[in-house]
Structures are given as C-alpha cells and as structure tokens.
Amino acid sequence: MRREHPYSHAALDTSDMDAGRRRFLVAAAALTAGAATGFGTLLTPQPAAAFRTPARIVIVGAGAAGLSLASRLASALDGASITIVDRREEHYYQPGLTLVATGAWKASRVLDTNSRFIPRDVEWLRDSVVEYDPDNNRIHTATGQTVNYDFLLVASGLQLNFDAIEGMSPELIGSHGIGCVYDTPDHAERTWRAIRAFTETGGVGLFTRAPGAIKCAGAPLKVTMLAEHGLRTAGHRGKAELHYFQPGNALFSQPGIDSFLKQHFPEQRDIAINWEHQLKGLDAARQEATFVTAEGERVVEYDFIHVVPPMSAPVSVRESELAWQEGGFSGWLEVDPHTLQHRRYPNVFGVGDVIGTPIGKTAASVKAQTPVAVANLLSILRDRDPVASYNGYTSCPLITERGKGILVEFDYSLNMTPSFGFIDPYEEQWIPWLMKDRMLHAAYNAMLRGRI
C-alpha cells in the first residue's frame, strides 16, 4: 500500500482500495455522468422540443450559474437571442481551490476557459455590467454599451471585499504567513506554500471566517482541518497551536454538523475555537491580527493566518434597484427563494451566489437552481405561472483530512437531505473525499454544458 507524502501534489493512490471501493467508483462514475453524485438532486428533464420565441434574453455572468443557464436555454429555446455578458476569459473550477490551497491539486487543474462552455448560438459580450436599469429593461456596460432585454438572468456571483480588513490586500497572499483559499488559483497555490512552510516550522496558526453570507461556508473549516492533518502527518503537530475564529457562535448553519464540529475541533483536533471574533485588521510586517470581540479589540500574533474576506453581491447589483433594499439580505439580489424570480421585476431571475436567500452559495445549489429558473422562464414565455420550486438544496463534501470527509447535504429547512442512503451524513468516510478529489469536477463540467 502506497501512502501519499503529505506535501505531494499527487492525489491518493487508490491501488489499496478494496473491492467495495472499486465497485463504488464504477457505480458512482456512471452516476456522475448522468446525474449529480452529491452535486444536487437528480436531473430535471429538458423539454422534448425547443420552444419557439423571438425573446431577447441577457445572462449576466459566465461562471457556474451563467454557463449552465446559457447551455440549458440554448437547447430549450428556438429563435431566441441569448447574450451572455462577462469580460473574463478564464473559468475557475472554484470547488477545487480548497484542494489547491492544501496541496492536493496543482493550480492548473482548476483552470479552464469560458469559450469551451459557451454554446455556439449564444452571443458572448466580453464586457461587464456597471449599471442595471430594470425599469427600462436594459443594462449598461463598462465599455459604454447599452443592451436591451426582454428577460434578464443575473448570475454575477459575489465579490470578495479584502479592503474591509485593514492592512489586507490580495497581493499579500502567500507572503508574511498569509493564506486565502477564496481568491485566484495562483493565490490558492501561494496559500499552499504558506501552509507548507507553517507545517515545517510550526508556531501559531489562525483560521478566520468572515461574518455574513460567504460562498462554500465549509471552505474555511476544510482549510483548518487539512492544515491540522498536514501537521499531524508530518509529525509536527506538537509544534503548532491552532485557533479558529468565528464571528458568531455557530460553526455551521446545519445544526447536526455544527454540533459535530463544536466537539470535533477542540476534542479530536486540539483546535481552539474563539467565539464572536471578527477579523478587523492585519499588520503583515509584524504578523499580528486584530479581532473585534464583545470585550473589545484583541491583538493576536501569528505564524500563519488564513484570511476569509467579507463577501457581498457585486457593487453593480448592490447599488441597483434589483437588490434587496433592507433586511438581512440587503444588497443581494431580491428573488423569491423558491421560484428564483425577482420579487419586483417579473422578467428578471437570479441564480447562484448573487441571490439573497437563506442558504445556498455553492455550485451544488447552482445545479439545483438552474433547472428551476429555466423552467419558470419557459412558463412565463408560455403565459403560465412560474411554479417550479427550489428547496434550498446545498451540498458540500466537508473534507476533514486527506482521504476522509462528511457529505453534507441540506435544504432551507436545515434538515439533512442525503442523496445516498449508504452514506451516513454524520460520519467521516472516504467516499466524500473520493467525490471531491475524483468525481465532482466532471459533474461540474457536465452542469456547465446543461447535461445535468
């Protein structure tokens, strides 16, 4: 049996897998091709024949949500003019960034191009939206263009607000013991170098979490546990003191997983949890972090810090009429949480990280949301009510160490919604790791092509 060196980029060798594992792999690979494999509910069938319409449809954002919307609409509609707006040429497989930042994958493995996924009959406007004008059914772009639409699908993701942390900027990632899994693949790889150096030297490691909604809320927890595992595997665990900083008093929104982690972090991993600590600023040169706590400010020295920036809808959405104007979702896109239709502009829909809903900022949510938004748009085109409903499904293989994890799946009710009866949703197992490492990227690409 070959054991992987903790610092190697190579994935786990599966030569030691028993027959059960191999059988699972074969079955799961088949499922991945046709369905979701922990990546959402099983597929919604496409309409048998394309619906003929001259509608002008604009999709903003060519990320996970925008590309899968474009693919589905291109095959569901005949005669429509579909435009996708995004100036980015590169596509990042973001769920893989956790594996890059912890040394399991190289950055090149998460890099792709949008041109590979945009359907031929969809026009790609390489530009970015700077202003939404929903009262006049048009958007304005950075290069000064105005685009009119009959239907608008907002899928512009979210923005990382590094500047909300004093002294922090993305350029610091990879230096002064600073890491961040949320930015570019290059920065994820630099994060891995910082974690690897910390694994050698040991010292004080701080792992933070921003307040408010963030994408893949499991990622900061995974980075913490994988860093701890790296130290342990290298035989250096005794040289390091690890602290997790949580702005509130829960580690995870799903109560069962929250209870698991609250016990697992201190008892099994010797990671101290610092409740109600919000990262306020960094002094990179002195390697000091300042937290706001109920008792006032607290300054902590570190050898490594994992920074999670506060996140918000892109400023063009946040400052538009399309955003929730008040309340807990203020600034995020104001959609009905089930139909994904805008609550005030019925010809506008939203999918993905940009929407203001209680949970669901994951690619797995995008997988569940996209068929709903498309079905409801088709209903409106047919003069019917939008009745398809998103139940809040979200999923995350919560990796606890290399080779192990928990497959967390739940919905708006916060009840677990396991796709596989044979996977205990509260137990660490090898299957979620295998999914994350070997299978979900293919499922994600199939989603971008509208196949699942």
Q: Which stretch binds ligand FAD (CB under 6 A): 44-52, 63-71, 370-378, 427-435?
A: 63-71
CB of 239 to ligand FAD, least distance (A): 27
Q: Which of residues 296-325 bind ligand FAD (CB under 6 A)?
A: 314, 316
Query: In this complex, which beta carbon is closest to ligand FAD, that of residue 271 or of residue 407?
Result: 407
Residue among 187, 361, 402, 441 that touches ligand FAD (CB under 6 A): 361
352 is an interface residue for ligand FAD by CB under 6 A: yes
Intra-chain end-to-end CA distance of the chain, in Å = 36
Q: Which of residues 381-440 bind ligand FAD (CB under 6 A)?
A: 395-397
Residue among 88, 286, 344, 384 that touches ligand FAD (CB under 6 A): 88
Taking a C-beta distance cutoff of 8 angstroms, is the pair 156, 354 a contact?
yes
Q: Which of residues 224-283 bind ligand FAD (CB under 6 A)?
A: none
Return the residue matching tokens 């040991």: 202
Task: Give the number of other Cβ atoms within 10 Å of residue 264's Cβ.
Answer: 18
CB of 226 to ligand FAD, least distance (A): 12
C-alpha span between 135 and 345 (Å, rounded): 8
C-alpha span between 173 and 165 (Å, rounded): 13
Q: Which residues are catalytic?
A: 216, 396
Taking a C-beta distance cutoff of 8 angstroms, is the pair 407, 395 a contact?
yes
* Position 339, amino acid: T
Residue (of 389, 345, 386, 350) closest to 368 by Cα position = 389
Query: In this complex, which beta carbon is closest to ligand FAD, that of residue 172 or of residue 354?
Result: 354
Q: Which of residues 362-381 bind ligand FAD (CB under 6 A)?
A: 362-364, 366
Query: In this complex, which beta carbon is closest to ligand FAD, that of residue 65 or of residue 388?
Result: 65
Residue (of 160, 190, 158) closest to 175 by Cα position = 190
C-alpha span between 185 and 181 (Å, rounded): 8
Q: Which two tokens stand for residue 433?
A: 């790791």
Q: How many positions of this chain bind ligand FAD (CB under 6 A)?
A: 37
CB of 86 to ligand FAD, least distance (A): 4
Let me know the angle formed at the C-alpha of 407 by 403 and 409, rounded to the nearest 5 degrees: 165
60 is an interface residue for ligand FAD by CB under 6 A: yes
Q: What residues make contact with ligand FAD under the rule CB under 6 A? A: 60-66, 85-86, 88, 94-95, 97-98, 128-129, 155-157, 181-182, 215-216, 219, 314, 316, 352-354, 361-364, 366, 395-397
